[in-house]
Structure 1
Amino acid sequence: MLRTALTPRFLGLLGLVLVVGVVFVQLGRWQLGVAEGNAQREAVEAARAAKPAALTEVLGPHEPFPGELSSRPVTVTGHYVDGQVLVPDRRLDGRAGSWVVTPFLVDATGGTLPVLRGFVTDPAQAGAPPTGTLTLEGGLAPSESPTDAVTPGPGEIASVDTSVLVNTWSGDLYNAFVFLSAERPATGPQLTKVPTPLAPTGVTWRNAAYAVQWWVFAAFALWLWWRMVREAHERTAAPVVATAGDNGAREHS
């Protein structure tokens, strides 16, 4: 069958099939990108449309963090307390710097909530947090994982890891932190806000199914070429078998 496949006719047909297959594979990749893009856009729109909920209605101190609360806008009232730390080796808009994370004592529960107040390129820019009673608005995020990629210096932590902060700050700690977006009343210099990251969005299944269809078409085109080669080989081999049978019959006669 290899000899049949290597004939000019089938080699030319194979080249055409490969070109078509590459086109189909690229179309599948494009559809998959559309699927991911649609899911991302829907997640952004949903996050922007969500009405902020009071933190006390969705999460309490020490409670496990439900995955569906990722990126959820919340509001909380209380005041900042001592214990501000920096999280180095962070980037924002192509700039290297640090996150400024400050403990916030929640009036309604007495729990301590880590608040990511903003981003600074120089630790000296962090400054002291505002004083007095404040109402914060921002997006919730789960505690970050521990990391050895960063060696923190004095007043720094490697990541926003509540298992580390619980040994640093007093009181009942929330198993979450807030990406601050607004502070009322807004007093004093404001740090550069860090946008709340979106939770994993996956894909939209309709477009993902289209992607799979294109890849199936590519595989089918290659299978169809192989089927044509096999049938052509069987047609050329059949007369040889018949001739051999005739010769054997004549010898017996």
Structure 2
Amino acid sequence: MLRTALKPRWLGLFALLVLLVVTFVQLGFWQLHVAQDKGLADALRHARDARPTAIDTVVGPHQKFPNPQSNRAVTAVGTYVAAEQFLVGPRRLDGRTGWWVVTPVVVEETGARLPVVRGFVTDPAAAAAVPSGRVEVDGTLAPGESPAAAPAGTAARAGGLEVLGSLDLSILVNRWPGDLYNAFVFAQGERTPTGAGVPATPGVEHVPPPEVTGGLKWRNATYALQWWVFAGFAVFMWFRMVRDDAHREREARDEREPTRVEESTA
């Protein structure tokens, strides 16, 4: 069979086979990535649209961040610590450059600090006003950001507040006393214990949660499987055709053998 496979005809088809298999495999991986993207996007959209739940039912202080709960609507009840407020930036919102205003809230249930992105400002001085007393913060959950230094030329302080390049929780755990949540919240609303909304701080705009992708969508995963089946079928067909050709050659050779034997005997 090896000798048959080395025929120019089958070698040419083998080259085409390699091209097809590589193409089908790559298309399969592409569909798999699409399936992952759509699947997690759906899961995160569902989590974001779900009814808000208390922060401690999703993640506790120092616990590993629950990735499937990213963008989950949560509520934290506690008190802001205005003295520990800082800025993260520069950041962009609706084509404007500014800063995130980050203020820790001490959660009543645990006494641990939870960083809250209270909003976006173009004027750092607008971040000075912080709601006092007990407050209920509604927002969406997010994991800490990767370490990043502020861009060159960025001032270390603005409006009297420290400026960090990213919301890196590993920095905060060494600065803030007590326990820390391994997550932060994009505030979407604040209420007093009576349920009345906290007046919006002038100049501070809520930051919409980021769009997150990833996951698995079974329909696209099926498409990926189909492409890989096509690749396997192409290999099978090439092997089958070469085998059949070799079988025909063997039968023709066997038919010629008796004639040669008779001629030799005569």
Given the two structures, how large is their TM-score scaled by the length of structure 2?
0.69
1:34-73 aligned within 5 A: 35-36=35-36, 38-60=38-60, 62-67=61-66, 69-73=69-73
User: Counterpart of 2:232?
Assistant: 219
SS at match of 2:167: coil
The whole-number CA distance in structure 2 between the counterparts of 1:3 and 1:56 is: 67
The whole-number CA distance in structure 2 between the counterparts of 1:201 and 1:181 is: 24
Inter-CA distance 69–192: structure 2 relative to 1 (3 Å threshold): closer
The whole-number CA distance in structure 2 between the counterparts of 1:162 and 1:31 is: 35
1:182 and 2:189 are equivalent in the alignment: yes
User: Counterpart of 2:179?
Assistant: 172
1:25-174 aligned within 5 A: 28=28, 32=32, 35-36=35-36, 38-60=38-60, 62-67=61-66, 69-77=69-77, 78-88=79-89, 90=91, 98-120=99-121, 122=122, 124=124, 127-133=127-133, 134-147=135-148, 154=156, 155-174=162-181
The whole-number CA distance in structure 2 between the counterparts of 1:251 and 1:86 is: 101
The whole-number CA distance in structure 2 between the counterparts of 1:248 and 1:174 is: 90
> How far is the alpha carbon of 1:59 from its aligned partner?
4.4
The whole-number CA distance in structure 2 between the counterparts of 1:144 and 1:76 is: 20
SS at match of 2:83: coil
1:6 and 2:37 are equivalent in the alignment: no
Matched-pair contact (CA < 8 Å) for 2:149–2:164: no
> How far is the alpha carbon of 1:20 from its aligned partner?
8.1
Matched-pair contact (CA < 8 Å) for 1:181–1:195: no
The whole-number CA distance in structure 2 between the counterparts of 1:12 and 1:40 is: 40
The whole-number CA distance in structure 2 between the counterparts of 1:240 and 1:36 is: 55
Inter-CA distance 31–173: structure 2 relative to 1 (3 Å threshold): closer
Instruction: Let me know the Cα RMSD of the aligned residues.
Output: 4.1
> How far is the alpha carbon of 1:215 from its aligned partner?
2.1
Aligned length: 247
Matched-pair contact (CA < 8 Å) for 2:88–2:165: yes
Inter-CA distance 97–240: structure 2 relative to 1 (3 Å threshold): farther
| Identity across the alignment (%) | 40
Inter-CA distance 116–231: structure 2 relative to 1 (3 Å threshold): same
User: Counterpart of 2:241?
Assistant: 228
The whole-number CA distance in structure 2 between the counterparts of 1:14 and 1:251 is: 43
1:208 and 2:254 are equivalent in the alignment: no
Matched-pair contact (CA < 8 Å) for 1:14–1:225: no
> How far is the alpha carbon of 1:127 from its aligned partner?
2.5
Given the two structures, how large is their TM-score scaled by the length of structure 1?
0.72
Show structure 1 runs of 5+ residues with no match: none
Q: One-letter code of the match for 1:143? A: G
Matched-pair contact (CA < 8 Å) for 1:87–1:156: yes
The whole-number CA distance in structure 1 between the counterparts of 2:14 and 2:181 is: 65
User: Counterpart of 2:159?
Assistant: none
